Structure 1
Amino acid sequence: MTNLKWTGFAKKSPQERIDLIREFGLLKEESQEILQQQKKLPLETANQMAENVVSELSLPFAIAPDFLVNGKTYHLPMVTEEPSVVAAASFAAKMIKRSGGFTTTVHNRQMIGQVALFEVPNVDEATASILEKKAFLLSLANQAHPSIVKRGGGTRNLWLEPKEDFLIVYVSVDTQEAMGANMVNTMMEALVPSLEELSQGQSLMAILSNYATESLVSADCQVNISSLSRNKEEAHHLAQKLVMASRLAQVDSYRASTHNKGIFNGIDALVMATGNDWRAIEAGAHAYASRDGQYRGLSHWSYDEEAATIKGHMTLPMPIATRGGSIGLNPTVQVAHDLLGNPNAKELASLIASLGLAQNFAALKALTSTGIQAGHMKLQAKSLALLAGAKDKEVGPLVQELLKEKHMNLETSKALLQKLRQEN
């Protein structure tokens, strides 16, 4: 839904935000009830999801509004404990929307499984024997999980690579709307007896790979440099610095690590909100960032001086799911999918990549202009205010007093809070 008035949303109370979401008609009635009643993951459900459960851990569930992706406006749910993440995403989304928003390309949507063979007496003969039976092996894997074939998915390709003492058999699988870990693992294990017979070797393991190079998505955007500064010369200078910061992440792995962490501030928040496995997404993306032997930044920014725009691009693996796993078990996860309009896996992958690129733009802009520490100090002051016991209306004034101090700590925060209360 477009043209919604989000102005002042950050200054409203949680209840006022829920009321506004209801007014906007962004959620189904059952999702509104979940938010209204603050329903959490039931303990009995949590107890079935993990071992030795004693409670649940809650994290803030926020909204970054007005992301324009492929011509459609989305309001992205974000689960994160860091307030600057949501604020930065929202800020970047506004700037990028004014220049046309994000465009994305989903290059493929397949997962990869592997069977690692060892003690293969003749690798060349084993390779030839396995490839000769390729159609049979793909069919055999499909028989291990016939339901995915009925839904239009299933195996798509098989190939082999010898690596040191191993002959590794790879199989790509269209998992449809599921991430497909259990599905692919079942398929790979079904191939083991035949592969051992054909290769005359032994299987070390049969398992899905999280390095999802057959499930890549790209996000692109541009920002008019007038958004960086009203002064043309300064805007030009800031655009050059932002592009240099992007290049730094390509040549220095120390910077690349922090560069990519900033991207995942956004990606993880949406992946978690939608009930997906953020560890798998991160593992695959970090491997992709190292694909040429050096760890590099995942995003690239360039400056088109003639058009007076900076352009951002990012490609990474995004094997995201909208079905399966724990997605249907957590009530708040259901709200997140409802808020997004219940997208399919490809659409959700596009939104996640766009959010990551937005988060990256906001970070680079801050680093190359005002610096990152000013915002972080405000967040530190707010955390100290809350730890000192400040109530909702006391937080703002206490933060202002803390920022005037040469050294901020909890003792100072408590003293200042006591002083404010005495004055009032």
Structure 2
Amino acid sequence: MPITSRLSGLRDLDPSERRSVVTRAAELDEASLDALDPEHGLGVEAADHLIENVIGIIGIPVGVATNFTIDGVDRLVPMATEEPSVVAAASNAARMTRQHGGFRTSSTGSIMIAQIQVVDAVDPEGARLRLLEARDELLAFADAQDPVLAGLGGGARDLVVRTLSTRTGVHVVAHLHVDVRDAMGANAVNTMAEALAPRIAELAGGRSLLRILSNKADQRLVRARAVFDAELLGGPDVVRDIVHASAFAEADPYRAATHNKGIMNGVTAVVLATGNDTRAVESGAHSHAARGGGYTALSHYEVGADGHLVGTLELPLAVGLVGGATRAHPAAQAAVRLLGVASSGELAATIAAVGLAQNLAALRALAAEGIQRGHMTLHARTIAASAGALGDEITRVAERIVADRRIRLEHAQDVLAELRGAR
């Protein structure tokens, strides 16, 4: 039986019960997600091997987004975030796509770019052509640095050379394009760049300086598209206003910054849960938003011929399933098992779909009811817990402070004291 991401009643269970339900729904062994329990996850000793000067571990909640159908496959999506409403909003937005086939994605492949900078070249344009004449030699030398990658079907694919005018003169910059397959790719391309730098400097007649990957991964783009049901969104007026909100973000960088932050709420949560590099993905996304010289929205919304809302998103996603924390962190391994992806391309497709869903949920809240209503309802539970509420007290205190429109810690403490005094 195919896995279904449509799980009802999940919110009414406690965390251990939810984990059991999700484990069964994903057709995993009973212990497959145990690493998501702090008692069985990353310990201080293991953390000491991941970074320097370890003194402890900070916990981030991991939730499961439901209702996602991506390229015809249902997926339960792990999301690591401390922000209330993110997981619920993504799940709700995904539900609105199911009767229209869910999310469809496409990509440009898994090409990463390494840059080798050359300074002090006497004839920069001549140097550029000399490097291009040696393209085959340089690509072969790059492949020799990572025969395992080449054996997996990856490796160096192209050499692009630019001359760049800067305040310190004209630099020659070689871009090595590398297919990194299922890796994020930083180690592979950096190793190749280091090895190539002396020969490139020799051919260019200058001095090599920086040799490192670029996080502007514009050769590793992922696109997601979905049709969101007009009736479930709230009707044609809400659809119209979401399109207006989208146009606002496309035209205005002040709005675009917050619009794209909504996308990254979803994107970063999945990237973090799977042990990938959140900073690399975020810098790549924001650089893509500014690719035309001004900062704009990464997503777009239109009204389809049938009146439903069509949402699209394009962004670079340098993520992988091999190496780094994805292989070293037990919780990241558990998250990947839950997600059930078999390649970095499937992981990137999932992340893009979640980003689009998260963005749509925020736009719908803004256009239909204002962002605070849903967000603060969930935030109220955090406030209730901070006030000392336990178990069902959290729900009762949260409901009361929302009804009173006083979602503040001191009021939650007063309500809690009142509840306990009445018992």
The TM-score bracket by the shorter chain reads over 0.9
CA distance in 2, matches of 1:142, 1:412: 64
> Given that residues 6 and 67 in structure 2 are in contact (C-alpha distance below 8 angstroms), is that contact kept between their aligned partners in structure 1?
no
**Equivalent of 1:217 in 216, 222, 236:** 222
Give the match for residue 87 of structure 2.
86
Shift, 1:343, TM fit: 2.1
Change (3 A) 1:225 1:170: same
Change (3 A) 1:3 1:381: closer
Give the match for residue 375 of structure 1.
374
The range that moved more, 351-360 or 24-33, is 24-33
Structure 2 gap ranges (5+) = none
- How does 1:15-94 map onto structure 2 within 5 Å? 15-24=16-25, 26-35=27-36, 38-94=39-95
| Pairing 1:314–2:319 present | no
- Residue aligned with 2:117, SS: strand
Shift, 1:35, TM fit: 4.8
What is the TM-score with the length of structure 1 in the denominator?
0.95
- Residue aligned with 1:211, SS: coil
Q: For residues 47-77 of structure 1, what are the alpha-carbon distances to aligned partners after superposition, in whole Å with 9 as ceiling and x for unaligned?
A: 0111110111111111112311111111111
Shift, 1:406, TM fit: 5.3
Fraction of identical pairs, as percent: 39
- Residue aligned with 2:48, SS: helix
> Given that residues 71 and 105 in structure 2 are in contact (C-alpha distance below 8 angstroms), is that contact kept between their aligned partners in structure 1?
yes
> Given that residues 23 and 338 in structure 2 are in contact (C-alpha distance below 8 angstroms), is that contact kept between their aligned partners in structure 1?
no
The range that moved more, 334-343 or 212-221, is 334-343
The list of structure 1 runs, each at least 4 consecutive aligned residues, that deviate by more than 6 angstroms after superposition, is none
- How does 1:3-402 map onto structure 2 within 5 Å? 3=4, 6-24=7-25, 26-35=27-36, 38-164=39-165, 165-229=170-234, 235-304=235-304, 306-402=305-401
- Residue aligned with 2:340, SS: coil
Change (3 A) 1:2 1:342: closer
The range that moved more, 20-29 or 104-113, is 20-29
Give the match for residue 413 of structure 2.
414
Q: For residues 261-314 of structure 1, what are the alpha-carbon distances to aligned partners after superposition, in whole Å with 9 as ceiling and x for unaligned?
A: 00011111111111100110010010000000111110010112x411111111
Give the match for residue 232 of structure 1.
none
Shift, 1:355, TM fit: 0.6
Shift, 1:36, TM fit: 6.5
For the aligned residue pairs, the C-alpha RMSD in angstroms reads: 1.6
What is the TM-score with the length of structure 2 in the denominator?
0.95
CA distance in 2, matches of 1:182, 1:3: 36
Task: Give the residue type in structure 2 aligned to 1:383.
Answer: T
Shift, 1:188, TM fit: 0.5
Task: Give the residue type in structure 1 aligned to 2:47.
Answer: A
Task: Give the residue type in structure 1 aligned to 2:87.
Answer: V
Task: Give the residue type in structure 1 aligned to 2:158.
Answer: N
Task: Give the residue type in structure 1 aligned to 2:192.
Answer: M
Number of equivalent positions: 418
Task: Give the residue type in structure 2 aligned to 1:76.
Answer: V
- Residue aligned with 1:49, SS: coil
Task: Give the residue type in structure 1 aligned to 2:21.
Answer: L
CA distance in 2, matches of 1:405, 1:135: 71
